[in-house]
A and B are shown apart, each in its own frame.
Chain A
């Protein structure tokens, strides 16, 4: 196990946002975190990249409790794409990517030749090398997300954490990003809203509801009509991809699926 969330709990104002969460991510695997809005996905991820201190429980990386490390030291192992997407400073793409070296570099020393080569290589892998001198404020959503992934790669992390990385991306960019992750060999924990993308991209899926883990396992085992009805409050039909066999959810919008469910969780309606 590379990354383990052990009994992770976060409380705010007496309410449990995340409640005794246990999730394991094996080396080189992609684990998707799904669940309605407000189910605690982002909160759990924030604990992993240490923007938030858990109330109890721990995030273990190879058995080491991250809370025992300095922020800088854990940032050498865990990179993140947060939902924070805007910056007011017009760094160039190259400058932004180079900031991925922040946890490794000493003080304000310039990057070494190896580090600069690493930046160049990451930008090429993500197909943003031609944007190197563009201001990050002029990028499209898809370009921007690729640049941020390039920055995360430059961090040379063991684990990559992503919070809704496909938000605001068109379908092509969504597919491109997730297939890049699949091919990258990185250990990935990612929150995703789109259940079908999650099913196609992830090795395992962990379903959160009201801060608790409801189900975890292979996408085909987890994404059943029963579970989707219970957690998201909608009726779906599950079909399977003709080649990969991955589950795919289809929605019948004429059947007024929502009104048939008296106990639809209010937060789930818009997802």
Chain B
């Protein structure tokens, strides 16, 4: 583990001086003592990220237009969880912590974890490094549903859930269309899936633009755009259970399939020779990712970038085997999204920035830095 550093390489002169305490993480992988270092790295990553997540969640709850001292946050959370009492003068603080911020921060964590994990699954499914949860047209389908609500007020009877319901139905419809269109005599081949998803996404976007254009309401375009870029402003305790369950199921199912996902990456023929039915696995992955993405988009809009880049960041840190990637990615995604949401609601308070703007602003430089530093090879030399 740490001893691996002693066989210090002479190569990679460009590997910048690692400034943080994670020095050995920056060691080029080729020179590290493979299994030992890899396992140490995985464990370190899991521990560090778990602690970071707890701290991030508490920070996310404490910080905002009104700053609640951390001690009070813990006190209120404890009171809420155990049914303990609070003083009369603490009602406002309690309400902010328990009814407004906690569900929102938890939803951010769930959405971040979900998008990142679905990103891993989709990249394995279509065997393409550039894939993200939205490459299969699911988000644009959801957008059509959401736009219909914003512009024409469909599902008005569902009240505050109209947007989520319409977005989920839109996602489901898009999924079905992509599935049927991509299905060929050879099954769901990766290339057909990507091409179909991309083509249909353009179709859905056009449809959405027409809806906005025809809108009698001038504010519609702005509302739709904001929704498209992602927001957790509508978070409530009620929005949590379903999407949380879906994300947890996805993580467990994918972890159980992690070795098959590794094999799938080697190509269909090789997969067959190693006992993995690539077509059946892809069908399962497709359905799983579509359902989870639909549920996530329904509660948070289409937050770009997380599902594309976090899997890569995690691979750079702990290697490419899916068991590791899938263990670390949810934690990384959750931490990342909690901070993104915090920035979104505090940077220009009381105005909120769309989440997609911040994910890109933070994520792009981080990703490029990591990629350049580690000689990352996903996608070839």
Contacts and interface: CB of A to CB of B under 8 A. Distances in A.
Interface residues of B, number: 41
Given A50-B272, A75-B273, A99 B319 contact: no
Nearest to A83: B269
B20 interface: no
A253 interface: no
Contact of A82 (B255, B273, B376): B273
Contact of A91 (B32, B273, B320, B381): B320
Interface string A83-94: 110111111101
B268 to A, nearest CB: 7
A45 to B, nearest CB: 10
Contact of B378 (A86, A90, A133, A138): A90
A49 B277 CA distance: 12
B380 interface: yes
A79 B377 CA distance: 28
B29 interface: yes
B256 A107 contact: yes
B263 A99 contact: yes
A100 B320 CA distance: 16
Contact of B275 (A46, A75, A90, A95): A75
Contacts of B33: 133
A135 interface: yes
Contacts of A73: 275
A71 B277 contact: yes
A71 B272 contact: yes
A72 B274 CA distance: 7
A92 B34 contact: yes
Contacts of B35: 94, 116
Interface in A45-60: 46, 49-51
Contacts of B256: 107-108
Interface centre among A79, A83, A90, A137 (most CB of B within 10 A): A90
B266 A84 contact: yes
Nearest to B380: A137
A108 B320 contact: no
Interface centre among A83, A88, A100 (most CB of B within 10 A): A88
B377 A51 contact: no
11 contacts: A49-B272, A50-B272, A50-B273, A51-B268, A75-B275, A82-B270, A83-B269, A87-B266, A102-B275, A135-B29, A138-B377
Given A89-B320, A161-B273, 14 more contacts: A51-B272, A72-B275, A78-B273, A80-B273, A88-B379, A89-B262, A90-B377, A91-B265, A95-B320, A95-B321, A99-B266, A102-B263, A105-B259, A108-B323
Interface of B: 29-35, 127-129, 255-260, 262-263, 265-270, 272-277, 315, 319-321, 323, 376-381
